């Protein structure tokens, strides 16, 4: 009897953990946005915990920093709102996945979730996302509707994951999406290129 209980508990935990993995990579759905004329620049996951870790080469970071700052300057010059998206794992199952598979990085309440030094104070708005898709909480939907935004320019990291999932969620809603290739980073450059090719098939523009 006791072994049956143990087996049930282990199975339940495995299912719960697997659901956390599913939630992390899921792409949310939302209402079609219709015609909107505005544009916004999204800075994705440019946080100390990622930027200051030994994940990306100094050369890659230097190139991306230069391009991100250029995009920010252009946005400000054209009165385009700048929205920074910060990752904080806060759902119990996704926190468990982050602790187990992601070195505990970016769990809510831990150090490093703040915007990294080179990009601090640049955004007009800062939102927190709980999974890779920045639209999951619906807060981004609400803000973009208030700003009458129909086109999104994406920069930040990681190209394969949070950038890609946010782009796909945006396209699902009808946004025009542009990824600035020199302003995104990935720990897996080869995989990132494959991801960008996949996104072009979903009518995401690369610049």
Residue 71 has pLDDT above 70, yes or no: yes
Question: pLDDT tens for residues 114-137?
Answer: 999 999 999 999 999 999 999 999
Cα dihedral 10, 94, 101, 62, rounded to 10, equals 180
Residue 44 maps to which CATH number? Answer: 3.40.50.850
Total tally of structural domains belonging to the chain: 1
pTM: 0.93
pLDDT for the residue numbered 16: 80
Phi, psi (5° rounding) for residue 88?
-140, 110
Domain that holds residue 96: 2-206
């Amino acid at each position: 009897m006791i072994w049956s209980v143990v087996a049930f508990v282990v199975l339940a935990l495995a299912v719960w953990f697997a659901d956390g993995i599913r939630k992390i990579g899921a792409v949310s759905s939302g209402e079609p946005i219709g015609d909107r004329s505005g544009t916004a620049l999204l800075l994705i996951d440019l946080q100390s915990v990622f930027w200051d870790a030994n994940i990306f080469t100094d050369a890659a970071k230097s190139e991306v920093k230069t391009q991100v700052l250029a995009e920010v300057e252009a946005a400000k010059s054209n009165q385009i709102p700048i929205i920074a998206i910060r990752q904080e794992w806060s759902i119990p199952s996704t926190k468990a996945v982050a602790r187990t598979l992601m070195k505990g990085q970016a769990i809510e309440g831990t150090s490093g979730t703040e915007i990294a030094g080179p990009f601090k104070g640049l955004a007009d708005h800062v939102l927190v996302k709980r999974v890779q898709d920045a639209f999951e909480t619906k807060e981004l939907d609400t803000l973009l509707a208030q700003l009458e935004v129909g086109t999104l320019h994406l920069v930040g990291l990681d190209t394969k994951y949070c950038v890609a999932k946010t782009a796909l969620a945006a396209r699902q809603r009808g946004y025009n999406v542009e990824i600035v290739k020199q302003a995104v980073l990935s720990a897996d450059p080869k995989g990132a290129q494959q991801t960008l090719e996949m996104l072009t098939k979903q009518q995401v523009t690369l610049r």
